Amino acid sequence: MKKITLLLTLLMTSIGFSQTELLTNGDFSNGDASWALTGGSVVSGEAAFATTASAGDPWGTQLVQGSLAFTNAQEYTISFDARVDAARNITLAIQNVGVWTDQFRENFSLTTTMTTYTKTFNATSSNTNVQIGFLMGGFGVTDGVYYDNVSLTTNAPASCSDGIQNQDETGVDCGGSTCDPCPSPPTVAAPTPTHPSADVISLFSDAYTDEASSTNPGWNEAVTAETHASNAVLKTTNFLPFAITTPIDVTDHTLHVDVWLPELPSAGAGLLIKILDAANGPNEGNSIYPIANITAGQWNSIDIDISNFSQAQGTWDATAQGRVDQVLVDIVDDTTMYVDNLYFWKAPTASVDDFFAKAVKLHPNPANGIVKFSTVTNEALEVSVYDLLGKQVIPAQTIQSELNIASLNPGMYFVNMKQGASVATKKLLVN
């Protein structure tokens, strides 16, 4: 029967109360300590009254605990388990000692099955000498009565800061008619990354293969994986850690992260990102992204070059950046934060086409009539021209150095150029 008290406590907590227990030894695990039994004794963990006084005063057979302090109008809950040898009534009286005025009084009809009885009431006065008494005398019957798991609690009124979803709240301490609205999760997916996978070290993104890491390493984080707008995100109510299994090299990289804040924090500089070589120091670099640059209720795409991380502890140099094993994203005030696409990226190595694009020149630009081309090799070019809608306005043709554009109306165009295996596109303004 001892489990019933715990279950009842959990139940009442879930429906809206923060409770403080007033009674001592309510489960009689310490015998009759703190209790006075008239006509009974504690047997096998129960307050047992094998026979009761059929006549006389109600207190002729009673179970009592006193020296309780009550506050006027405070809400209390009394709960107890009881059974009887044959169906009968008892009286529960909670009274101010001496004057014997009632804080609570009610008769209970008991059965032969051990049953939990619960009542909630408000105190009628303040008093520092209150007793609870189960009165069994004078009912005209002698049938035995047995008690267990007696509890008397004060109930704090439900509020928007009690850590419980109660009242008419739609979430914990938020929503409904009384509390502030609940934070809104992302309503759209974060932008899809476009960096080539070969240039990315990903910790969390559907667009890439993630490095092995843990976002719940046991650092008192509060992180959950959720899905919003058909998109996997990480939610935290304090900070988001990544404990990386195999250290990564982030030298010459840029950190990218997409962040959604339902509301901006009330204080603090902004979003704090920590990158650590923890195993060898710790060596730590920090960067703060200003809160003024973050908009609540939308995805904020943030890119921070590794050179913008300043030394926070240990040595923050290329060696430390080459063996990063922890990344933390934090924001003040334990503000709810959703995170997606956390990865490091670097600019790709210049290709042959990149060099070709830089080497080929067209002039004048803006132009009309004739535009001239020059390359390092002065080899022939294959060129074609497209408008802003992607429509080809000058078909591909091979030229040595000049292209006639007299047929083009004023505006912006794209010139596609090809020389051997190299290709490039440049803008051309016609005036």
Between CA 76 and CA 153 the distance in angstroms is 5
Nearest to 141 by CA among 85, 63, 88, 84: 88
Question: How far, in Å, are 69, 215, 365, 395 from residue 357 at the CA level?
Answer: 86, 43, 16, 20
Higher pLDDT, 5 or 250: 250
Instruction: Tell whether the model's pLDDT for residue 297 goes beyond 80.
Output: yes
Beta bridge partners of 345: 200, 254
pLDDT in tens, 123-163: 999 999 999 999 999 999 999 999 999 999 987 777 787 66
Reduced to 3 states (helix: H, G, I; strand: E, B; else coil), residue 280 is helix
How large is the greatest C-alpha to C-alpha distance in the chain, in angstroms?
125
* pLDDT for the residue numbered 352: 53
Which regions of 44-185 does DSSP assign to beta strands (E)? Answer: 46-49, 62-70, 75-84, 88-96, 102-110, 115-122, 127-135, 145-156
* pLDDT for the residue numbered 15: 40
For the chain, the average pLDDT equals 89
Tokens read off for 13: 């907590």
Between CA 283 and CA 275 the distance in angstroms is 8
Over residues 7-31, the mean pLDDT reads 68
Q: Where do the domains of the chain lie, and which CATH numbers do they carry? A: 2-156 (2.60.120.260), 197-345 (2.60.120.430), 352-430 (2.60.40.3080)
Element (H, E) at 3: helix 2-14
* pLDDT for the residue numbered 351: 53
Instruction: Tell whether the model's pLDDT for residue 347 goes beyond 50.
Output: yes
Work out the burial of residue 144: count CB atoms within 10 Å of its CB; fewer than 13 is exposed, 13-18 middle, 19 or more buried: middle
Reported as a pLDDT band with limits 50, 70 and 90, residue 8 is: very low
Query: What DSSP letter does each residue of 219-278 carry, written as one string?
Result: SS--EEEEEETTEEEEEESSEEEEEEEEEE--TT-EEEEEEE-SS--SSSSEEEEEEEEG
| Other Cβ atoms within 10 Å of 138 Cβ, number | 17
Residues 257-277: b if buried by 16+ CB within 10 A, e if exposed? bbbbbbebbeeeebbbbbbbb
Q: Is residue 421 within 8 Å of residue 352, measured between CB atoms? A: yes
Between CA 298 and CA 392 the distance in angstroms is 38
Computed from CA positions of residues 76, 80, 84, 86, in that sequence, does the dihedral angle turn out positive or negative? Answer: positive
Over residues 234-244, the mean pLDDT reads 95
Element (H, E) at 358: helix 352-359
Reported as a pLDDT band with limits 50, 70 and 90, residue 396 is: very high
Higher pLDDT, 418 or 106: 106
Work out the burial of residue 331: count CB atoms within 10 Å of its CB; fewer than 13 is exposed, 13-18 middle, 19 or more buried: buried
Over residues 384-409, the mean pLDDT reads 90
Q: Is residue 103 within 8 Å of residue 114, measured between CB atoms? A: no
* pTM score of the predicted model: 0.48
* pLDDT for the residue numbered 376: 77
Between CA 26 and CA 82 the distance in angstroms is 13
Half-sphere exposure of 350 (CA within 13 A, CB side): 7
Work out the burial of residue 321: count CB atoms within 10 Å of its CB; fewer than 13 is exposed, 13-18 middle, 19 or more buried: buried
* pLDDT for the residue numbered 232: 96
* pLDDT for the residue numbered 230: 94
Over residues 222-238, the mean pLDDT reads 94
